[in-house]
Amino acid sequence: MKLIRLVFFVGTCLLLRSNLSKKFLYSFGLSCTFAILIFQFTVMTEYDVVVIGSGPGGYVCAIRAAQLGKKVALIEKYNSLGGTCLNVGCIPSKALLDSSHHFHSAVHEFADHGINVGDPKADLKKMIERKRKVVNQTVDGIKFLMGKNKIDVYHGLGSFEDAHTVKIAGEKEERIKGKNIVIATGSKPSNLPFISLDKERVITSTEALELQEIPKHMIVIGGGVIGVELGSVYARLGSKVSVVEYLDRIIPAFDKEMSKELMRSLKKIGVEFHLSTKVTAVERDGDIVKITAEDKKGESVNIEGDICLVSIGRRPYTDGLNLEAAGVKANERGQVEVNDHLQTNQSHIYAIGDVVRGTMLAHKAEEEGVMVAEIIDGQKPHIDYNLIPNVVYTWPEVASVGKGEEALREAGREIKIGSFPMRALGRSRASGDIDGVVKIMADAKTDEILGVQMIGARAADMIAETVVAMEFRASAEDLSRMSHAHPTYTEAVKEAALAATGNRALHM
């Protein structure tokens, strides 16, 4: 298009210098302008790869495709890039978890270390302000990466017009074409049909990251990852927190042992739990929210608070995408259906991240983004979903990779288990973080590590070593014979591996 404008400009200059009549020049100019306008509206820019959605799945896919020499467009409906993770998910929640952790340590732990800071006060407005800064810096980083990789960014709602054309409804309406299109539109919070989310007192995680006052009593419906992470933030800041969970355990994606350990730790900071309890009604009465529920004995449970956080999972998001126009199928759960190569039923349209099957995690979305870009490039990448780690950023942190003990037993695997309590480590006693345990499951005959579950200080970072070990199909003995720096929390991994291989733990 730039070239056509240049030709038009040079041509006009030459004509003006010629001896042709003004009338002729005028009508010629007008016709050319119309021709360009018609051209602009009928001939759309065509890209090798068009990515819809700029979360960790979408923006990573765009970068990898650009690295591979593709002409790439990224469409995002909001002004801010980075999706749920950067704007209302991973990054802001971790910023608040860190701030509230510092506050809690100042109130409850500093004195023990001989530090007297008087009577610390939590300034939630300041914490939220800091969180916003962290988010903005991170989002700016993505903007920079888009420019660096020469990716064309369009802001506006992307929707299919046909299997190769995407309309972008932003400040102006535009249309672009993609030889390949990647759907990376993410997810939104789920809700129960009888709950009216007023986003003021009955809220989702998005609003919980923007509260301006510390709640007196926060009721959390759903004891999954969001419930325990954001419940921890406000419990540390002094809120009473009540978690109402439908199942008989919190964080059900982990072994029951991890759930129990985490509950024990969270109870110490004042979180109360109602397990096996089914919420039947949520009503707002002025500044009060009333929850009615039923426990497993059928007895009624009534809780009153000033904030109710609904965190019962998330649903894939394809609203406004007009999948039908492209002939792309979604299943009854709303997930875009994909094969092992992340292709939809239209082979040039791919889908990745929260909008497809599998765990809703940023790093899973990123792996899929890279995989799709490389498939489009003709490569043969592969993801081992069993080795995507899972982390909960409470304190202590919880982390896992591979299969849990319960899943392995259910599958009839013969396993041996090595466990090591964090409290037996010198490092834990030095910092005062003595809660937790590392558990390694290995094949009873071959000793190959099949899964790791851990709860303890820095478990989020510690899990990485076991991911590497499993990627290389290490045995528990391999891990037990590696030197681990002393004193570190990671010594618990070595000790658990020693325990798994003939009860050789040295410090237990």
Q: Which residues bind ligand NAI (CB under 6 A)?
A: 192, 221-227, 229, 244-247, 252, 279, 311-314, 359-361, 391-393
Sign of CA dihedral 87, 90, 95, 100: positive
Smallest gap from residue 353 Cβ to ligand NAI (A): 11
222 contact, one of ligand FAD, ligand NAI, none, CB 5-8 Å limit per kind: ligand NAI
Q: For 438, which DSSP code?
A: E
Binds 65, which of ligand FAD, ligand NAI, none (CB < 5 to 8 A, cut-off by type)? none
Q: Which of residues 320 and 426 has its CB atom nearest to ligand FAD in the complex?
A: 320
CA atoms within 13 A on the CB side of 39: 12
Rounded alpha-carbon distances, angstroms, from residue 56 to 20, 116, 189, 201, 364:
58, 42, 17, 30, 9
Work out the angle at residue 446's Cα, subtended by the Cα atoms of residues 443 and 450, and round it to the nearest 5 degrees. Answer: 35
Residues within the interface to ligand FAD (CB under 6 A): 52-58, 75-78, 83-85, 89-90, 93, 157-158, 184-187, 205, 226, 317, 320-321, 353-354, 360-363, 365, 393
Are 495 and 506 spatial neighbours (Cβ–Cβ below 8 Å)? yes
The distance of closest approach from Cβ of residue 69 to ligand NAI in the complex, given in angstroms and rounded to an integer, is 33
- Residue nearer to ligand NAI on the CB measure, 181 or 355: 355
Shortest reach from residue 398's CB to ligand NAI, in Å: 9
Strand blocks (E) in 184-334: 187-189, 202-203, 217-221, 240-244, 271-274, 278-285, 288-294, 300-305, 307-310, 314-316
Query: Which entry of ligand FAD, ligand NAI, none binds 399, CB below 5 to 8 A by partner kind?
Result: none
Residue number, 47 or 393, with CB nearest to ligand FAD: 393
In the complex, minimum distance from the CB of residue 400 to ligand NAI, in angstroms, rounded to a whole number: 11
Q: Decide whether 208 or 474 has the Cβ nearer to ligand NAI.
A: 208
Answer for the pair 32, 163: CB distance below 8 angstroms, yes or no.
no
Question: Minimal distance in Å, beta carbon 279 to ligand NAI?
Answer: 5
244 interacts with, out of ligand NAI, ligand FAD, none, CB within 5 to 8 A per kind: ligand NAI
Q: For residue 93, which of 200, 176, 207, 189 has the smallest C-alpha distance?
A: 207
Looking at beta carbons only, is 44 or 301 nearer to ligand FAD? 44
436 binds, among ligand FAD, ligand NAI, none (CB under 5 to 8 A by kind): none
In DSSP terms, which residues pair with 502 in a beta bridge?
none
Q: Which is nearer to ligand NAI, 323 or 399 (CB)?
A: 399
What residue 224 binds from ligand NAI, ligand FAD, none (CB within 5 to 8 A, per partner kind)? ligand NAI
Peptide linkage before 421 cis (omega within 30 of 0) = no
* Integer Cα distance of 307 and 402 in angstroms: 36
Q: Which does 252 bind (CB under 5 to 8 A by kind): ligand NAI, ligand FAD, none?
A: ligand NAI
CA neighbor of 275 nearest in space, from 253, 291, 255, 251: 251
Say whether 507 is catalytic. no
Q: Which one, 375 or 424, has the nearer CB to ligand FAD?
A: 375
* Count of C-beta atoms within a 10 Å radius of residue 166: 26
- Which of residues 92 and 404 has its CB atom nearest to ligand FAD in the complex? 92
Closest CB 206 distance from ligand FAD, rounded Å = 7
Nearest by Cα to 499 from 478, 474, 473, 480: 480
Residue type, 425: L
Q: Which partner in ligand FAD, ligand NAI, none is near 243 (CB below 5 to 8 A by kind)?
A: none
Nearer to ligand NAI, 45 or 292 (CB): 292
Q: Measured between alpha carbons, how far is 74 from 85 in angstroms, rounded to an integer?
A: 17
Closest distance between ligand NAI and the C-beta of residue 306, in Å? 20
Minimum CB–partner distance for residue 463 and ligand NAI (Å): 12
* 317 token code pair: 């998001």
At closest approach, how far in Å is the CB of 187 from ligand NAI? Answer: 8
Which entry of 108, 113, 341, 486 is annotated as an active-site residue?
Answer: 486
Which residue sits closest to ligand NAI, CB atoms considered? 224
Strands (E), 152-204: 152-155, 157-160, 165-169, 173-183, 187-189, 202-203
Rounded to 5°, angle at Cα 191 from 188 and 194: 155
- Among residues 223, 57, 221, which one has the least CA distance to residue 142? 57
Given a contact cutoff of 8 angstroms between Cβ atoms, the answer to whether 246 and 276 are in contact is yes
Coil vs helix vs strand at 33: helix
The item of ligand FAD, ligand NAI, none sharing an interface with residue 311, based on CB under 5 to 8 Å by kind, is ligand NAI
- Which residues are known catalytic residues? 486
